[in-house]
Amino acid sequence: MKRPDKPKTCPKCGSAKVAAILYGLPVFNDDLERAIDAGEIALGGCCIMGDDPLWRCLECKHEFGKR
């Protein structure tokens, strides 16, 4: 399943600092660390419920978007 295009701004606060949420147990490597540090990826935890949000605003922490 393909992730929809990244939104330009958060629908709650309007910030452009929006990161994709990564679920599951990630393998930490240099690429993942770089993406987290750059605000491209936010960790969502290991419990996947099926209706989990796709995006997290790094300013207000609002989580949004569905598959």
State the average pLDDT over residues 16-42. Answer: 96
Q: Is residue 41, in this structure, part of any structural domain at all?
A: yes
Q: Residue 35 corresponds to which amino acid?
A: A
In a domain, 8, yes or no: no
Is the per-residue pLDDT at 1 higher than 70? Answer: no
What's the number of domains the chain is made of?
Answer: 1
**pLDDT above 90 (res 40):** yes
Does residue 27 fall inside a structural domain? yes
Whether residue 46 lies inside any domain: the answer is yes
What pTM does this model have? 0.89
CA distances from 39 to 1, 23, 28, 50, 58 (A): 23, 15, 15, 24, 7
| Domain assignment of residue 26, yes or no | yes
Inside any domain, residue 9: no
Identify the domain containing residue 40 by its residue range.
18-64
Strand 41-45 to 18-23 pairing: parallel
Q: Specify if 4 maps to a domain.
A: no
